[in-house]
Amino acid sequence: MSKTKKSIDEICKQLKTNFDIKELGEIKCCLGLQVKRDRSEKTIEINQEAMIDRIAERFKMDETKPTYLPADVNSRLIKTKSEDRERTPKMPYRELIGSLMYIVVCTRPDISNAVGEVPKFCDDFNMEHWIAALKILKYLKTTKKLSLVFEGSIKQPMVAYADASWASDRDS
């Protein structure tokens, strides 16, 4: 918000004249994100370790073997065949997908490609789709200590990447 404590205090003073506010101090946790600030190093570290643990517990993946890839590189998810529809048990697929998407948006862009595949089947998922979503969660559980670190002292150039394999999606 500002470079100096004096400026921050002045802004808070002005806000208090119009709004009923309460100062809670430096942010530690908000909306499932843990925030660590190191003023001397000029860094802010954000992670969702506790939220990943809660999601893993909710989907009974809290005691699982580690995996170091969010998706199986040798398989492609495809639409559910009509004969598989009747055999697919009721599962909280959308809830799991929503949880994974929140993690991606907030702190874990490393799983965006894998998570981008599983919501395509929310209306008509099968066991293969469910297992793929659980594998992403298993990967998150294994790598839950990964964080986003924002450094204020380093000038970073803008870098962009593109995936030109759009034609490899069989369902579009």
| Residues 87-124 pLDDT 10s | 667 889 999 999 999 999 999 999 999 999 999 998 88
Neighbours of 136 (CB within 10 A): 25
pLDDT in tens, 42-88: 899 999 999 999 999 999 998 889 999 999 888 888 887 766 666 66
69: closest CA among 1, 153, 157, 135? 135
Whether residue 1 has pLDDT greater than 70: no
Q: What phi and psi, each to the nearest 5 degrees, are found at residue 38?
A: -120, 100
| Strand partners for 30 | 33
pLDDT interval class at 132 (50, 70, 90): very high
Query: From the CA atom positions of the chain, what is the Rg in Å?
Result: 21
Which amino acid is present at 115?
V
Contact partners, residue 37, CB within 8 Å, separation at least 6: 26, 27, 43, 44, 45
- CA dist 34 and 47 (Å) reads 5
| Residue 16, token pair as written in the block | 């208090």
